[in-house]
Structure 1
Amino acid sequence: MKSMSQLLEDSLLLIWNNRNSVERLELMEKIYSGDIVFFENDYSEPFKGFTAINDLIDKLQLSWPESFKFTTTDFEINHNIQYVSWVLGPDAQQPVAAGKDIAIIENGKIVSLYLFLDKD
């Protein structure tokens, strides 16, 4: 991990791309606040804490081929708010999904994370 400006990109590339749940939990402790909340959409309950997010990542990764990974396309930080744009899919092929994550950062860690999927 590099700096606060890199937190959200590290979240996506180091945590959400990682297929080892034990390693993910260790990385979460470095990147996420212990009371992290992930808002997937406006219609579902948020995921709270490392275990809930780790379980979600496991479930999602089981639903797509191992060749799928997140790649960032843009990111920026303004004080304690950061966003990253990304695509998901196999390398050098048309992505199957794209979106943005927005994070609120406090005390050098992500405390809340919001997903915005691009609509087709």
Structure 2
Amino acid sequence: MKKLAVVGAWLIASLTAPTVHSQDVRPMDNDAQDIVVAQHLIDRHFEIWNERDKAMRVDKFPTVYTPDIFVSDYAEIASGYANVNRLIERVQTEHAGFAFTPDPVSWNHGLGRVTWGYGPKDNPNLVRGEDIFSIHDGKLASLRVFLNKN
């Protein structure tokens, strides 16, 4: 019954909410500087994820990530430096000898996308995927990881 009441309230709110139209036109923010910053941060991001030395990796976090960095992958969601570092350690442990090889960044109105390969040196694209990311105050603020199904 409670679920039905929640659905009913949502339906009423949906039907009575004002209609939003795309009349609010904003200029694109896809200038070359945004792309350069995004590419630099993503390059540093993958350096961190490929770094096997925990101390060296953790030292780089504040230069690349916001303190409340948010990363979601196929298995979990991690927020903050300590939890993201544990996520990296899990990925590295599960795939010993693998490294990320990123492609160039795509940037669209404040959101970025980077496709990448992950695998051993003799098969660097064994796993393919992409990260959708955001930047806040000049640092990576969120990454959502998608794996391509082969």
Q: TM tier, shorter chain? A: 0.7 to 0.9
1:75 alignment counterpart = 105
| Residues 38-49 of structure 1 aligned to structure 2 (within 5 Å) | 38-41=71-74, 45-49=76-80
Q: For residues 9 and 71 of structure 1, what CA distance do their matches in structure 2 show?
A: 10
Alignment equivalent of 1:31, drawn from 52, 57, 64: 64
Query: Aligned pair 1:15/2:45, yes or no?
Result: no
Q: For residues 117 and 144 of structure 2, what CA distance do their matches in structure 1 show?
A: 16
Deviant stretches of 4+, over 6 Å:
none
Equivalent residue of 2:81, what SS?
helix
Amino acid at match of 1:78: N
Larger Rg over CA atoms: 2
Q: For residues 42 and 107 of structure 2, what CA distance do their matches in structure 1 show?
A: 9
Which blocks of at least 5 consecutive residues in structure 1 are unaligned? none
Measured after TM superposition, the shift of residue 110 of structure 1 is 0.8
RCO higher in 1 or 2 (8 Å CA, sep ≥ 6)?
A: 1
Q: For residues 57 and 24 of structure 1, what CA distance do their matches in structure 2 show?
A: 10
Q: Is the 8 A contact 1:37 1:112 kept in 2?
A: yes
Q: Which structure carries more helix by proportion?
A: 2
Query: Percent of counterpart pairs with the same letter?
Result: 32
Q: Which segment drifts farther, 70-79 or 32-41?
A: 70-79
Q: For residues 57 and 109 of structure 2, what CA distance do their matches in structure 1 show?
A: 26
Q: Is the 8 A contact 2:133 2:142 kept in 1?
A: yes
C-alpha distance 82-47 of structure 1, shift in aligned 2 (>3 A): same
TM-score w.r.t. length of structure 2: 0.69
The root-mean-square deviation of aligned C-alpha atoms, in Å, is 1.7
C-alpha distance 110-94 of structure 1, shift in aligned 2 (>3 A): closer
Amino acid at match of 1:35: D
TM-score w.r.t. length of structure 1: 0.84
Which blocks of at least 5 consecutive residues in structure 2 are unaligned? 1-35
Q: Is the 8 A contact 2:100 2:124 kept in 1?
A: no
Q: Which structure carries more strand by proportion?
A: 1
Amino acid at match of 2:43: E
